[in-house]
Structure 1
């Protein structure tokens, strides 16, 4: 054997190294850049702790910190108060239209939160149609602006996380535990509180953590509904804009605090779960019972009422998009004027949204297949590190990543990307976990012997991967790509920091239209965005339903 052949690096080792390099450059480097800048004095560029001292001593930042925790915690609590009962009712009782409820919940989940905020302004704003209706009959109602409005939007937007995760866990609970509690004389409430709830606590806490992290990272909702109620996300963006031309030290300091809150929440959840065992045998699964009388009516009203109220903003947006307008003013009747306007005023935004999102999804599809193989098939410290790093984009707010990208790749030491390149790269790295998790799930169902047989027959590792593995994981790749596309095309917070006049996207155009009072234009663009999202959700359902057959 020649020396060259003996020392030829193994294919998957090279792939692992390349993946680590990509994650180091696009994920770790921007975060480290943000962290380092938070310890820099903007004037002297010397090391300082003054930025953190200012954040924790100046009322402007302290109020933003408290406001963020306040709306994040109460929004999460609201999501749990809706999601847990909804999950329990649909998992334990025969509910007419159960599939309809789950479908609407998922549609609520994938719709952009800032669109919901805008729709609530149309209903409960200073000139909202619900506000005007009550004023005509002499009843004064509070407007949607402020903390209560933000909490309402977070509650109705994020409760599906708690609902879907808790419902899955409830369907897997061993019925013997609940039967034993009933035989010992526990009331239905005591049985639920003392037995069922602790058994599904891991699912509830995971859904709650996701709600909390997304709430504190959300920019669009507090920016649209805040009206002086500032959160860390809006403060970070305002600080970044005020520091243009210099080092954005205060913006990155606020961003690091946002990231720290997310990580501390995740650590707290892990520590709580580590103290107890929650596993049970997947036998004697629960059987749904039938309700009757007022209980049946009440449960059905609650279940359908929650998802319909949550869907109300979407319906309002679509309805508003077909109202006749003259400029920013609604003139009565129906028409397509708003859609004509977006064809004239926003074709670039629509094209950019598709271009950047699709480019990112192509990268995600290719890279997630390789990463998934490394995670599932390569039991090495490097594969474990990659699996861990796939959690990081979930925890890092879009504002943090965007500032990291700008200060690293445009204004920093590696100034190689323009706005378009930055947007594609940030969509890629932030949405990569969706592709990886979906593809990993598919790959775990495939026996390694299929690939090993191809290698034993003389196929190189890359050819075996492309000819054998990739065709088998196509359903997972498609589902992951669609989910990546849904979230990428709706991205607002990171886009607001990076975009310029030539790279404006639909979410940014909608946000600016709402701020300018152009509600017809915003509604039409929002409807286009919702339609794209809805088509992708339908495709996800179809491919997810067919995944089992793909492995036969």
Structure 2
């Protein structure tokens, strides 16, 4: 006789739905809704509001898409975006090819400098090049005394130069890793058919690594059009959408910032269009291959070897130049804003005496945001990796949004969302911490998700089978194994958090100013010594984090991309 299973009471069937991970999942969705979807929705809605009548209209977008002033800014944005992307590819791809395929001396130095250039804020590069090629720069002034004309660093050429040297590491690091992983049989077959080395590179090798090259290029493009500090510092009369959005928002302060929001939405559309365009091209053909018969590095000799090393070291020098200039300038003695010509620590003394709160704010806000990121990303990574549902996939996709949303846009969204009771955060430290937290959360999630995918679920399943609750099994068994990935994510989050400018510039007050904000204002005021000292503190802090990541990561350079 077969015994029928007793029906489970309705209350008992409902209980599993409210388990620990479902509650965590719900809290994560609420957090994303409040800190990401709500601000961006506010930005979207306000773009259709008539600032005079309060009604809905398309006039704001019509103005932005028809007025020569805004169209000029749109054209400038695309120009520096494409220029920065092209420059990054022109430097990054050859450098990656030489380092991956030949025995280039000091390869570790090249990769280290590339990573340091990647984590340093773009506005520091802009400020450094002013010191070198500005009207009274170290190079400009003596050459002009000799009667030689020097191109101005201000405007389009300077912005593209800064973006090129700032973002080429994305292309270099991704492409170099891909070049080491392709099957060399394809290139050998092309060579046997009489294909020249140059033709072989463009027809065989480059198409095989196109996903990596295009990913680095898209990152360079999106970050170039989103950057505020560089065009604001060396653009002069050259306006981009990010600087226009900032200026328009501050001009509309007290009213409805409809035009600033319309400009912000246009920036988001451009960024998303670039990402989807790349995915469209990648979907057209298959790029995967077996990781066998990997390429070998060839020795260098003769004139070709000299030229390859010269190119690699020149790129390293140009990438490191902003850091060298900043440090050197910081140890020059000053009398107020004027350099005396001697060495000294006057600038650091000014930071210690006049701006201790600015330095303290930067570290306090960054550490608070990183603490939140570390805890949150650990739980989110478990949901994304272990609970593969359409909702977890949606959560993972939403966490890609902060990558493509410019900081100015996010700042406007926060200012519009959290400016009224019961959640009025304007002028507080909390709004700075929250905007940095949501913008840098993806770094922590990507790092922790990566290491969690390498941990077999059977480890925690064994703990559960021995009677441990799922939450306790995760915290006591899985999390300790994840520590290296968690620390790497925290370090990457800290680097980007302490260097954040674009999203905090619209939200700070005198009491919540940070080092990037003060560097920006000091450069505009001609206080180059003070800016150099603060920049050096930022670079040293970032360098320490890079060192920690290098020590904890097996794939050191890959951890940053």
Q: TM tier, shorter chain?
A: over 0.9
Residue by residue, what CA displacement relative to the aligned partner does 1:279-314 show, whole Å, maximum 9, x if unpaired? Answer: 111110001111210000000000111011111011
| 2-structure distance, mates of 1:366, 1:53 | 44
1:528-547 alignment, distance < 5 Å? 528-545=537-554
The residue aligned with 1:11 is 20
The residue aligned with 1:77 is 86
| 2-structure distance, mates of 1:410, 1:2 | 48
Contact 2:427 2:509 in 1 (8 A): no
Residue by residue, what CA displacement relative to the aligned partner does 1:192-233 show, whole Å, maximum 9, x if unpaired? Answer: 000000000000000000000000000000000001000000
The residue aligned with 1:148 is 157
| 2-structure distance, mates of 1:293, 1:17 | 63
| 2-structure distance, mates of 1:303, 1:416 | 48
Are 1:224 and 2:233 matched, yes or no?
yes
Contact 1:16 1:382 in 2 (8 A): no
Residue by residue, what CA displacement relative to the aligned partner does 1:456-515 show, whole Å, maximum 9, x if unpaired? Answer: 111112111110111010110000000000000000001100000110000000000000
Are 1:41 and 2:41 matched, yes or no?
no
| 2-structure distance, mates of 1:196, 1:18 | 46
Q: 2:120 aligns with which of 108, 111, 118?
A: 111
| 2-structure distance, mates of 1:508, 1:418 | 15
Are 1:50 and 2:59 matched, yes or no?
yes
Contact 1:259 1:397 in 2 (8 A): yes
| 2-structure distance, mates of 1:357, 1:398 | 16
| 1-structure distance, mates of 2:407, 2:273 | 18
> Normalising by the residue count of structure 2, what TM-score does the alignment of the two structures yield?
0.96
User: CA offset at residue 416 of structure 1?
Assistant: 4.8
Residue by residue, what CA displacement relative to the aligned partner does 1:38-76 show, whole Å, maximum 9, x if unpaired? Answer: 000111110000001110111111100000000100110
The residue aligned with 1:281 is 290
Contact 2:425 2:431 in 1 (8 A): no
Are 1:491 and 2:481 matched, yes or no?
no
> Normalising by the residue count of structure 1, what TM-score does the alignment of the two structures yield?
0.97
User: CA offset at residue 6 of structure 1?
Assistant: 4.4
Unaligned runs of 5+ in 2: 1-7, 557-561
The residue aligned with 1:430 is 439
| 1-structure distance, mates of 2:337, 2:176 | 44
Residue by residue, what CA displacement relative to the aligned partner does 1:352-396 show, whole Å, maximum 9, x if unpaired? Answer: 001111000000000000000000000111111111111111010
| 2-structure distance, mates of 1:417, 1:16 | 29
User: CA offset at residue 340 of structure 1?
Assistant: 0.4
Indicate the RMSD between aligned Cα atoms, in angstroms: 1.3
1:188-267 alignment, distance < 5 Å? 188-267=197-276
Contact 1:11 1:462 in 2 (8 A): yes
The residue aligned with 1:26 is 35
User: CA offset at residue 429 of structure 1?
Assistant: 0.5
1:89-168 alignment, distance < 5 Å? 89-168=98-177
Tell me the SS of whatever aligns to 1:43: coil
| 2-structure distance, mates of 1:13, 1:417 | 33
| 2-structure distance, mates of 1:425, 1:460 | 32
Contact 2:129 2:322 in 1 (8 A): yes
The residue aligned with 2:4 is none
1:434-449 alignment, distance < 5 Å? 434-449=443-458
Contact 1:117 1:225 in 2 (8 A): yes
The residue aligned with 1:479 is 488
User: CA offset at residue 345 of structure 1?
Assistant: 1.7
Unaligned runs of 5+ in 1: 548-552
The residue aligned with 1:180 is 189
Tell me the SS of whatever aligns to 1:254: helix
Moved over 3 A (4+): 1-6, 411-414
| 2-structure distance, mates of 1:415, 1:338 | 37
Contact 2:427 2:512 in 1 (8 A): no
Tell me the SS of whatever aligns to 1:290: coil
Tell me the SS of whatever aligns to 1:497: coil
Contact 1:410 1:418 in 2 (8 A): no
Contact 2:377 2:441 in 1 (8 A): yes
| 2-structure distance, mates of 1:437, 1:471 | 18
Change (3 A) 1:395 1:546: closer
Tell me the SS of whatever aligns to 2:504: helix
Tell me the SS of whatever aligns to 1:159: helix
Change (3 A) 1:417 1:377: farther
| 1-structure distance, mates of 2:181, 2:276 | 26
Identify the range of structure 1 (117-126 vs 461-470) with the bigger mean alpha-carbon deviation: 461-470
The residue aligned with 1:453 is 462
Identify the range of structure 1 (11-20 vs 347-356) with the bigger mean alpha-carbon deviation: 11-20
Tell me the SS of whatever aligns to 1:325: strand
| 2-structure distance, mates of 1:145, 1:546 | 38
| 2-structure distance, mates of 1:379, 1:522 | 48
The residue aligned with 1:550 is none
Tell me the SS of whatever aligns to 2:455: coil
The residue aligned with 1:383 is 392
Contact 1:173 1:285 in 2 (8 A): yes
User: CA offset at residue 135 of structure 1?
Assistant: 1.4
| 2-structure distance, mates of 1:4, 1:419 | 45
1:287-436 alignment, distance < 5 Å? 287-411=296-420, 414-416=423-425, 418-436=427-445
Contact 1:406 1:412 in 2 (8 A): no
Residue by residue, what CA displacement relative to the aligned partner does 1:8-45 show, whole Å, maximum 9, x if unpaired? Answer: 21221111111111111111110010000000011111
User: CA offset at residue 545 of structure 1?
Assistant: 3.7
User: CA offset at residue 129 of structure 1?
Assistant: 1.1
